[in-house]
Structures are given as C-alpha cells and as structure tokens.
Amino acid sequence: MSLVTAEIKAKSEVYKGDELCQEKSKLLLKEVGLPNGLLPLKDIEECGYERESGFVWLRQKKTTNHKFEKIGKLVSYAPEITAYVEVGKIKKLTGVKTKELLVWITLSEIFVDDPPTGNITFKTPAGLFRTFPVSAFEIEEPVKEVNNEEHKDKEVKQVASSSAVEVQEV
C-alpha cells in the first residue's frame, strides 16, 4: 500500500520523468543540507514534495542496489521511497535498507551534524545507528566549461560599460 494518497498529491509539487526527478531530488537534498549523493536512484518515474508537512516521495521502476564505495556499504532502494524532510534530517523513512554482514536492515532516520563537513548518521527503527563522514555521500558536480570567446566578449562589454559610466560622471 502506497503512503502517497491523491489528497497528498493534490497539495504537492509533483514531477515526472527520470531526468527532471534526478535534478529535483538533488536540489531538495541540497536545500535541506544533506549530501547530494544520498539517493542514487535509477529510472525515477515520479517524485513529489509537500512543503507544508515536508513529505517527500520517489517512485522508480524497480528496486535499485547501490554500493557506497568510500564506506563499503550496500544500500537497497525500493520502488517507492517516502520520508519527511527538514533541515539536516530525514524522518519516517520507508523503502531504504542497508546490508550489515548478511542481514538487510531497514533505515528509518538520517541526520547530519555540523553540515556540510560533519558526519551523517543512519538510524534503524530499533534505535541502532551508524555514523559516517558526509563526504562519503557527496557526488562532485560537473564543472561547466565557459567558452573563452564568450567570456572575453563579456569582459570587453563590462569594461566598455564601466568606462562609459566614468565618462558620464566626469
């Protein structure tokens, strides 16, 4: 049974399609001060955010497993993930499990202390927790290259406009 009801959808920002949902989920993580690589989902069909309550959901085509190489942890993301978000914290998380030894353990809460360089803690419903560096869940954003010709043109226009201002003042 889905936690996302028609009533919640009616009050929410809803996005469809993998590319848009990838962008929006990373933007939301950044907005609430969580690392941008925390939700490495594939083939996202729908995502939504009800700002008033902080309720968030993501739907993907199938379960995705991801290994966070920096800490050597395998995490499983169900086809539907739901949570309540606030600054530095994810609460009432559903659809996310981590593998400890040979057992899959459900995660229910994630929070960051001293963002963005501090630690991130993952809690289970039983109160067990593990803490890791935030950097283990960060994805480096690709740097957009600036065309040198465009950059030079902008510099020339700025210089020209500033000298025009100076002439007018004299």
**99 CB contacts (<8 Å, ≥6 apart)?**
73, 74, 75, 76, 105
Q: Residues 13-31: what's their mean pLDDT?
A: 94
Per-residue pLDDT at 165 exceeds 90: no
Rounded Cα distance between 58 and 168, Å, is 56
Q: How many CB atoms lie within 10 A of CB 131?
A: 12
- Which parts of the chain fold into alpha helices (H)? 6-10, 18-31, 148-169
Question: pLDDT tens digit string along 125-158?
Answer: 999 999 999 989 988 766 555 555 554 444 444 4
Give the model's confidence band at 160: pLDDT under 50 very low, under 70 low, under 90 confident, else very high. Answer: very low
pTM: 0.79
Residue ranges covered by each domain of the chain: 6-137
